[in-house]
Chain A
């Protein structure tokens, strides 16, 4: 089949804002043939979401189509009225979304939501309305088609009772209700854990095969796109800079942006240049047991138990022991709910451990309180996952970086100002930034400000809690490189927490793998990645490798 199902010609779209019109999409040309799978790769702000939403007539409110058209199977979508859309939306073109929690109505059961979609489609297509039992049967059929084992039970459940992966399956089931010609997937795996991601991608591939679906999938994750799409387009600042067969683009990216983007993607099986270099210069002190160096931080048998509202307890962290040598980068990897963030906060005494012992720099900090603990905080700092929320929106960058100095030192006025400028210099930001507010900065710049704030007091230890997971890939690469440089410059020790295996591999000397509050495996990073011992580590790596570039070529 070679007929084009969707044909986008010179599509140009503006969005009106307070500061004037923004050109969100510029002369987009794209053709999708029946049975094809197309991926659209782009980072935040590339306009990819606006583009696919325009294909369904659910684009942003203040948008205006300036030029061009979108033709779907002979119909020009940009001229459709409500009645016309009713025959297409959800019936012939349907969509699955990024975060399955917010895209399901929390007040209705899964079954009710699917049944309503079925009824709406019957009405739109003029078919006789099916009875309640018929709709239920169809809904349960759809649920089992997307790999839900007990559709009868799930039918009567509410979204909050399901796991993330299940919710995404439910959303896919809803999208399949109308037996659509075209399925649009908007970052379908971004909000999910690695292992679940792999399953969902697998499911989409299955559906493409069995239902002969045409799929457009957008993602910032090149790996996920490559897993599903045979053809792919790269979007950058509202333009398609490159399109072609996915394999070709991955092998020989022609546009400069694509090259940069691909270079920035960390690879699971690639031993990163930076840290191996550092290792050569400075033979790692932890390699032999007899090394005279003492660990900077030791934690023994950390546990954290939370009481539940309705009685009972949850063990968030269940007996974790670890030690970090001076100058080392220790990675903690795990999926959501593994307790890795709780461990990070316990190490810094931001969360009180239920039991366990923490020794930092030769002295126990478990029992420290009040002023003594406050003093100790100078030497150990935390960098947060989400730089957007880690900075107080009402303080300027200068205030934010100067805050630790005001709190912990006797420095005042001019001295603080001078030190703030030095720190901005260290994190490679212009000095004038101290007058800016966080909302004026990009994600990468905000994270640099957070890091400047963390190193202001010359700490010995930095705990980095997913420091790059809220950032775009290209920014992530910059921040990671910068973190490596900073470590050498300031003589720091890192505890680096991430769910992203490739990032861990790139930056960490030694790694701990956590699952449900327990350490399942630990050792040198390369050893763990090359010869994983524990079953869970193996599964984790296998899922990760599925979307790695190397595996796709």
Chain B
């Protein structure tokens, strides 16, 4: 943008030019910080991201996360040596839980990212184009949505064979239709706004309208859903891991850890408690964050 003013008025400073933007961001920050649950969610998410980033280099027993066996120290209760106790191989559960954060983050990003990458464009096209294009996209989407996600993912993993990658593929396959439905509904609403017709009347091409008018106005719900879905994807993957279709045993995956730990119930309760709590807190963090974002970005469309 040019700083030169046509008249002799003094040029506006950056702060003055973007005053409205700045005020809006400050309002958002004020609203977000004022809500305890949003801040709590943000804290949990940041903590989780830090652990995922530096976890493997700070854990007390790094070798335990790759399948080291230490039979003398098996199934010790939580204590000073092992904060979360040890498992049946004598591995430190604290180390394994922390390293598991990276796996979970990876799962969340891949599933949510792929889901949005496929779902958002399809949703926008379906909503804006209408006609048979929309009919085709929405029919397929509805078919996917007609089978509960976890059941369909189970069938896909069953035919692909167990494993973490296959779990992620399966969940990504069942995840995108949610974005199509959300974005299509939002696009249908935005399309009716006069500014879209106004853009058409000045001769804007369809890609321009989609990119400059429709997508920015669909962003709030997409961001909120992606935040929530990070948690939900981690939860679903943990579920598949719990069933025994996820990562094979020595890998530190939270769901699989709870699954193995189940046979050590009830006497060695800590074994299943801590990995499960890690899942719970991570998912809770992303949910609270998403909820807080929705409150500031989209105050009227709560729960839609």
Contacts and interface: CB of A to CB of B under 8 A. Distances in A.
Contact of A18 (B5, B19, B27, B205): B27
Interface stretch (A217-225, A244-252, A300-308, A377-385): A377-385
B197 A350 contact: yes
A52 B31 CA distance: 32
Contacts of B217: 392-394
Interface string B198-237: 1111111100100011001100000000000000000000
Given A392-B217, A417-B1, A435-B20, A374 B203 contact: yes
A61 interface: no
Given A431-B6, A435-B12, A435-B18, A408 B202 contact: yes
Contacts of B216: 392, 394
A390 B2 contact: no
Contacts of B194: 384-386, 389-390
A395 B208 CA distance: 14
Interface in B1-38: 1-2, 4-7, 9, 12, 16-21, 24, 27, 30
A146 interface: no
Interface in A423-451: 431-432, 435-437, 440, 450
Interface string A109-124: 0000000000000000
Nearest to A376: B203
A408 B205 CA distance: 10
Contacts of B30: 18
B195 to A, nearest CB: 4
Given A432-B12, A435-B17, A390 B198 contact: yes
Nearest to B7: A431
Contacts of B20: 396, 435-437, 440
A431 B201 contact: no
Interface in A358-377: 373-375, 377
A457 B19 contact: no
Interface string A382-425: 10111001111111100000011001100001100110011000
Given A417-B2, A440-B20, A374 B205 contact: yes
B12 A418 contact: no
Contacts of B142: none
Which of A373, A392, A408: most chain B CB closer than 10 A?
A392
B1 A407 contact: no
B198 A382 contact: yes
Contacts of B81: none
B202 A404 contact: yes
Given A390-B194, A435-B20, A418 B204 contact: no
Interface in B250-301: none
Given A384-B194, A417-B2, A421-B6, A407 B208 contact: yes
B195 A391 contact: yes
A520 to B, nearest CB: 28
Contact of A348 (B9, B201, B212): B201
B201 A403 contact: no
Contacts of A431: 5-7, 9
A377 B17 contact: no
A62 to B, nearest CB: 15
Contacts of A391: 195, 198
Given A407-B205, A457-B202, 20 more contacts: A345-B197, A350-B200, A350-B201, A373-B203, A377-B201, A377-B203, A382-B197, A386-B194, A390-B194, A390-B195, A392-B217, A404-B202, A404-B203, A418-B2, A418-B6, A431-B6, A435-B19, A440-B20, A453-B202, A456-B202
11 contacts: A18-B27, A374-B205, A381-B201, A382-B198, A385-B194, A392-B195, A407-B202, A407-B204, A414-B2, A417-B1, A432-B16
Interface of B: 1-2, 4-7, 9, 12, 16-21, 24, 27, 30, 193-195, 197-205, 208, 212-213, 216-217
Interface of A: 18, 345, 348, 350, 373-375, 377-378, 381-382, 384-386, 389-396, 403-404, 407-408, 413-414, 417-418, 421-422, 431-432, 435-437, 440, 450, 453-454, 456-457
Top 5 nearest A-B pairs (CB, nearest first) are A377-B203, A390-B194, A404-B202, A374-B203, A392-B195
